[in-house]
Amino acid sequence: MSTLSLISIGPGDLDYMLPAAMGALRRADVIIGYQIYLDQLRKLIAPHQELISSQLGQEVQRATHAIDLASQGKNVAMVSSGDIGIYAMASPIFDVLREREWSGSEPHVEVFPGVSAIQATAAQIGAPLGHDFCTISLSDLLTPWPVIQKRVKAAAWGDFVIGFYNPRSKKRDWQLGWAMDVLRDFRPGETPVVIARNVTRPDEDISVVTLADFDPTVVDMFTLVLVGNSQSYVLADKVATPRGYTEKGQPRVTDGASTQGEHDILSYPVSLTQLTGKMATVIGGGPVATRKVRGLLSVGANVMVVSPDLTDTLQSLLDEGHITWLSRKYETQDIDGATIVFAATNERDVNREIGEVCNRHNILCSVADAPKEGSFHSMAVHRGEDVVLAVGTQGETPGKAKQVRNQLRWLLDQ
């Protein structure tokens, strides 16, 4: 009986090709594959073996040809890099067999597994796959983009370690950036990202960056991008993911743990919806102050900014007449007449002083870098057509509040 062998050749270096796959390759009369794979196998191919190459995008034709030759009595080897069952030729082979109502014989089909790119990358960089992980192809040639979007969001929500295959091409250059923006809504900025190009090959290049600093323009189709989960960490240039959620950043119950009592800080959630015409003073002109100003404008407040400098966004709002500006450092009289004040400078002592002055004058005040010094703190807010969602963490971990807000927002959008 003839055999159609579906052979995994590994990520590149033939030392990663499994012995069983090598044995099946040697028994073949015909070897079929993409030309670059055949070139990798040259030293394993005997003179009597027939080679048939094809181009990318001809997967169905390649599968059909292989099945036809095997049905004629030849032992055929179909080869693919990595693992032939992962984004490779095993699936098209079985699709064609299904169309032909294959009975399980004629030809006999064997699949030989291999080391995938994500496994090889993981081995080179440490232990990033120590917990649940998934792979997502960003190519929309065979999968509709809306389906890919759902998968990226679901994997982000589920805190999976994610391996992005086919991450970026010349014609498809924005999808990876979009996916990383989604992940930034769910994971800390310091989450490690592994960029692995041509892993195990002579020109292998592997680097580790943070999610916050990741630049998609350095990635191409020969690259695997591996993003850690919320617990993944870097250790001596290696990346690892704990097997559980107690190793990093998780609460532990100790003998001294306290329950809610008289020393707890209690808060009352407030939604400010009617600030139209009210004076709001924002002291500071950086990114934090910018966020506060935009929120205040959205509820109709008259906003005055006190700062020697402004961000580009604040300058645009000033040019358009949406805010007023005192171009100098804070002075005590700046809070006079204000209904609400935000202390958002980059000077700790100044922010503390603003909080103290506002407390003495019974003015609502938010101190950006020390929420307990003010009388309120801002929550992470999402405004929809029929719902306003606010998430707070007593001002202690605004990044976590933003992460939870984004997760809930995603659920509302489903």
Tell me the per-residue pLDDT of 190-201, one tens digit each, with 9 for 90 and over.
999 999 999 999
In 3D space, the residue among 50, 86, 45, 83 whose CA is nearest the CA of residue 65 turns out to be 50
Residue 231: pLDDT band (50, 70, 90) is: very high
pLDDT at 271: 62
- Specify burial of residue 378 (Cβ count, 10 A radius: 0-12, 13-18, 19+): buried
pLDDT at 270: 61
CB 88 within 8 A of CB 95: no
pLDDT at 1: 76
Given the structure tokens 């703190």, which residue do they identify? Answer: 377
Alpha-carbon Rg for the chain in angstroms: 29
Whether the predicted pLDDT of 263 surpasses 70:
no
In 3D space, the residue among 31, 22, 192, 180 whose CA is nearest the CA of residue 113 turns out to be 22
CB 9 within 8 A of CB 79: yes
Whether the predicted pLDDT of 206 surpasses 70:
yes
Mind listing the pLDDT tens digit for each residue in 268-318?
566 666 678 899 999 999 999 998 999 899 888 999 999 999 999 999 999
* C-beta neighbour count of 25 within 10 angstroms: 21
Whether the predicted pLDDT of 172 surpasses 80:
yes
Positive or negative: CA dihedral 399, 188, 138, 203:
positive
* CA atoms in the 13 A half-sphere facing the CB of 405: 22
Question: Rounded distance, CA 114 to CA 322, Å?
Answer: 61
pLDDT, mean of residues 364-370:
91
Question: Rounded distance, CA 113 to CA 6, Å?
Answer: 8
Whether the predicted pLDDT of 262 surpasses 60:
no
In which order are the strands placed within the sheet that holds 302-306?
A: 323-326, 302-306, 279-283, 340-343, 364-367
Mind listing the pLDDT tens digit for each residue in 335-353?
999 999 999 999 999 999 9
Give the chain's domains with CATH numbers.
3-115 (3.40.1010.10), 118-240 (3.30.950.10), 279-378 (3.40.50.720)
Mean pLDDT across the chain: 88
Whether the predicted pLDDT of 260 surpasses 50:
no
* C-beta neighbour count of 279 within 10 angstroms: 17
Whether the predicted pLDDT of 179 surpasses 50:
yes
Question: Which of residues 379 and 223 earns the better pLDDT score?
Answer: 223
Whether the predicted pLDDT of 254 surpasses 60:
no
pLDDT at 214: 94
Q: Give first-to-last CA distance, the chain, whole Å.
A: 52
Question: Which of residues 32 and 248 earns the better pLDDT score?
Answer: 32
pLDDT, mean of residues 346-362:
94
pLDDT at 131: 96
Tell me which of 117-126, 139-148, 210-219, 240-249 is least confident: 240-249
What's this model's pTM, rounded to 2 decimal places?
Answer: 0.65
| Range picked from 52-56, 62-66, 409-413 for highest mean pLDDT | 62-66
pLDDT, mean of residues 13-38:
95
Whether the predicted pLDDT of 383 surpasses 70:
no
pLDDT at 147: 95
pLDDT, mean of residues 24-30:
96
Q: Kindly provide the b/e burial profile for residues 68-106, where b requires at least 16 CB atoms within 10 angstroms of the residue's own CB.
A: ebbeeebbbbbbbbbbbbbbbbbebbbebbeeeebeeee
Residue 389: pLDDT band (50, 70, 90) is: confident
Tell me which of 70-74, 316-320, 322-326, 371-375 is least confident: 371-375
Residue 413: pLDDT band (50, 70, 90) is: low
